[in-house]
Structure 1
Amino acid sequence: MVQRALHCDEEMPDMACVFLITTTGCVLQGDRLALDITLGPRAQAHLTSQSATKIHAMDANYAAQSQTITLADDAYLEFLPDPVIPHRHSRFLSDTQICVAPSATLLFSEIIQPGRKHHRPDGCFGATVLSISTSATRPDGRPLFAEKLVIEPRRYLMRQTGVMNSFDVFANVILCAPKDKAERIHERAEADVSLAEGVAFGACHLPNDAGLIFKVLGRETAQVKAKVREFWGLVRKEVIGAALPPPYLWR
């Protein structure tokens, strides 16, 4: 369900804020979800979900999600849903296709939790397969970039260096923005690896002057969300010239 647009961001009162609500409360085997987002010229919107997306255990079939995001000239979209929680024995495939005008800005975040790690020992990285692919083009069809993340904990160890090591939560944040704005954001974005604090993060350029990609690893979801919020605040300040609203009390 797509909730009626609200104008609740005091820093950007003209921006539409929309909550996407899964009325069943979870994603089950056999589910096929489709989401199409289109912003016209100079439109501004913030999209989020009502809570984390829980992918339930499966004994047959799988769940799949397809998303298309289209931004016209000078459009601005913040698409920041709550985390995905793949439960033990779940199978989830997600494909996101982006078409963004050179003057438009898209901030798109995906946060992946390891599962119900406090529920039972094999609940952490207990999913069977999690596949997340993202690709982007210009309106004329010119390809910008493509990325695919495949997690199969039963086939490959998640605690390896270069995979998750001692971290549990992963965030992948894609920023499609004009080159000059992306450069200023990259100059201000911080990077660090701190095993003591349990967090690692950093940004790098996307191919074809498409923008930036910002990745975060953390032991707890709150740490990862905090770093994503810092990057979000930096993007909004550089692109729009506005600050972020105070965090909601329930977040």
Structure 2
Amino acid sequence: MQIMRPLYVDPAVPGMAFTYVMATGGGVAQADRYRQDLVCGPGTQALFTTQAATKVYRMEHDYATQRVHLTAGEGAYVEYLPDAVIPFAGSRFHQSSVVTADETATVVYAETVTGGRLARGERHEYTVFTSDLEIRRPDGTLLAVDTMRLRPEDVGGVTGPGVFAGHDHVASVHVVSTRRPAQEIADTLHRSLADADVLHGTSVLPEACGAWTRILGHEQPCVTAAVHTAWDAVRRLLLGHPAPDLRKQ
């Protein structure tokens, strides 16, 4: 794994550093242990993304993990918007993320998971996929937790109500910010997705530290577009500028 030299490509926010986190191999293999430590100091403006989807390969033994530690200092504005994770059949993957945000910082944190290599007819054939997100203050105070536990072979599977509900893609966008009231952020997220071809639900985060939305969709382009729409709406509200085109195609 490596980080590309930061780019400054958004004329609306010329001081924002765009950084691509890139895998040096084709994907995540068994026994891989990845860790990202992203420390953004006071006043930082930064966007982190990936160059492509993260493929998690079949595993005969062991499992793979990825840890993300994102810290945003006083007055920082940080966006973490990776492409989707695609767990292949037989894969075992755990992702653990900890976002530590100063009370004056803003963090937009997104995640997307796809049910497998759908074009090959491979749908929810991974062995296990888990994800934990913690949002904390610098003193360690826990603000919010979001967990995902996907085990297709468990009783009930993962395609029914309360999980994927017949959909193939799930995404979440968490917005940690005190720049605007939490309810206003939640309302902005909700309105932005009103016409999107996805299912979605939105609420404020605990302690009114921000808001979040969960998105379900049948098609990856629709989910990707919905995440971008939500990101754009929040960016306009909190930063006063639209979300840029990340130009990955």
2-structure distance, mates of 1:236, 1:229: 10
The residue aligned with 1:98 is 99
Identity of aligned residues (%): 30
The residue aligned with 1:63 is 64
Aligned residue runs from structure 1 range 36-185, under 5 A = 36-120=37-121, 123-155=122-154, 156-178=156-178, 180-185=180-185
Structure 2 portions without partners, runs of 5+:
none
Structure 1 portions without partners, runs of 5+:
none
TM-score by length of 1: 0.93
Equivalent pair of 1:10/1:245 in contact (CA under 8 Å): no
CA RMSD between the two structures? 1.8
| Residue 166 (structure 1) shift | 2.0
* Matching of residue 202 in structure 1 with residue 201 in structure 2: yes
Q: 3-state SS of the aligned residue for 2:108? A: strand
Equivalent pair of 1:181/1:239 in contact (CA under 8 Å): no
TM-score by length of 2: 0.93
Equivalent pair of 2:106/2:175 in contact (CA under 8 Å): yes
1-structure distance, mates of 2:198, 2:241: 27
85-94 or 135-144: bigger deviation: 135-144
Change (3 A) 1:23 1:29: same
* Matching of residue 225 in structure 1 with residue 210 in structure 2: no
2-structure distance, mates of 1:39, 1:247: 21
* Matching of residue 211 in structure 1 with residue 186 in structure 2: no
Equivalent pair of 1:200/1:217 in contact (CA under 8 Å): yes
* Matching of residue 17 in structure 1 with residue 23 in structure 2: no
2-structure distance, mates of 1:101, 1:249: 31
Per-residue CA shift, 1:178-236, capped at 9, x if unaligned? 16343322222326799xx8620131111112211111100011111111111101111
Change (3 A) 1:39 1:89: same
What number of residue pairs does the alignment pair up? 246
Q: What amino acid sits opposite 1:230 in the alignment?
A: T
The residue aligned with 1:186 is 186
Per-residue CA shift, 1:98-120, capped at 9, x if unaligned? 11111100001100000012213
| Residue 137 (structure 1) shift | 1.3
| Residue 142 (structure 1) shift | 1.4
Equivalent pair of 1:179/1:209 in contact (CA under 8 Å): no
1-structure distance, mates of 2:136, 2:174: 14
2-structure distance, mates of 1:131, 1:35: 17
Q: 3-state SS of the aligned residue for 1:33? A: strand
1-structure distance, mates of 2:70, 2:245: 27
| Residue 160 (structure 1) shift | 1.2
8-17 or 214-223: bigger deviation: 8-17
Per-residue CA shift, 1:48-75, capped at 9, x if unaligned? 0010000000111000011111111110
| Residue 79 (structure 1) shift | 0.5
Q: 3-state SS of the aligned residue for 1:60? A: coil
| Residue 248 (structure 1) shift | 2.4
Change (3 A) 1:215 1:247: same
Per-residue CA shift, 1:103-158, capped at 9, x if unaligned? 100001100000012213xx100110001001121112211111211100111422
Equivalent pair of 2:5/2:19 in contact (CA under 8 Å): yes
Per-residue CA shift, 1:22-63, capped at 9, x if unaligned? 010200000000000111111000110010000000111000
2-structure distance, mates of 1:146, 1:49: 23
